[in-house]
Amino acid sequence: EDQVTQSPEALRLQEGESSSLNCSYTVSGLRGLFWYRQDPGKGPEFLFTLYSAGEEKEKERLKATLTKKESFLHITAPKPEDSATYLCAVQVTSGTYKYIFGTGTRLKVLA
């Protein structure tokens, strides 16, 4: 069964304290992996798409990487405005619209 697992469930960081969020997946065939950010009371906001192992994408303080079994979202010197829930989703090859989400990591950055 296709599955996406995110860890940790919640993370508290001091401002400037770098860390990484993990998204591990077990799927029949990976078409691609997506990272989204979700703020309270809002829908998810697209961050990155990763297509193949070894690929990296960066945006401001965020850097996403992909291996054959997992993806990491590295947050460098986070700020309080980076506080949000970060969602990982995979698109599998067995269905054009089959999009499997993880449960997310709730990040809180303290000033």
* Secondary structure (3-state) at 102: coil
Q: Is 78 in the site for another protein (CB under 8 A)?
A: no
Instruction: Considering the complex, state which of residue 10 and residue 77 has its C-beta at the smaller distance from another protein.
Output: 10
What's the DSSP call for residue 2?
-
Q: How far is the CB of 30 from another protein (least distance, A)?
A: 11
Q: How far is the CB of 82 from another protein (least distance, A)?
A: 19
CB-count exposure of residue 30 (10 Å: 0-12, 13-18, 19+): buried
How many residues touch another protein (CB under 8 A)? 26
> Using CB under 8 A, which of 70, 72, 78, 91 touches another protein?
91
Separation of alpha carbons 10 and 4, rounded Å: 16
Q: How far is the CB of 55 from another protein (least distance, A)?
A: 12
Q: How far is the CB of 46 from another protein (least distance, A)?
A: 4
**CB neighbours of residue 12 within 10 Å:** 13
Residues 12 to 71: which contact another protein by CB under 8 A? 31-32, 34, 36, 41-46, 49, 51
Separation of alpha carbons 10 and 108, rounded Å: 8
